[in-house]
Amino acid sequence: MKNQAYKNSQLKHKVYEAKRCGKKQLIWNISDSQAEFLREMGFRTEPFLYWVETRKWYSVQDKQGILKEIHFECKRGNRRLVKKLNRKDIKLLDDFSVHYGVFKYRIILN
């Protein structure tokens, strides 16, 4: 396996190539350490898509929208749901102790 410095170097060259071609933003599936590396280089990175672990609840009628989606995705047999989340949804997931993480980052090249 290649070391982290080589991977960061390749990422840096890909980002500068995209910036030279005139792109304003990129949406990539990168790791947290690579996102931190890009922040240190001066690019702004923000989460774009999240993965959410699915689970079932006993009573779905009184649950909010995102929790119903998670419940029905679990009933369909999917272990993870990938979607955009706003701050209200993230707070709701934290309140119900649902595991989630960043799936793709938006890299702004200004």
pLDDT at 93: 92
- Which residues on neighbouring strands pair with residue 102, listed in sequence order? 50
Q: Dihedral (C-alpha) 10, 105, 51, 69: value to the nearest 10 degrees?
A: -150
Residue 89 lies in domain = 4-108
Identify the band that residue 88 occupies on the pLDDT scale cut at 50, 70 and 90: very high
> How many domains does the chain divide into?
1
- For residue range 33-87, list pLDDT tens digits in order: 999 999 999 999 999 999 999 988 888 777 788 899 999 999 999 999 999 999 9
Radius of gyration for the chain, computed over Cα atoms and rounded to the nearest angstrom: 17
pLDDT at 4: 87
Show Cβ contacts of residue 83 under 8 Å, excluding neighbours closer than 6 positions.
49, 50, 52, 69
Per-residue pLDDT for 2 more than 80? no
> Structure pTM?
0.83
pLDDT at 51: 96
pLDDT at 58: 85
CB atoms within 10 A of CB 1: 5
pLDDT at 80: 94
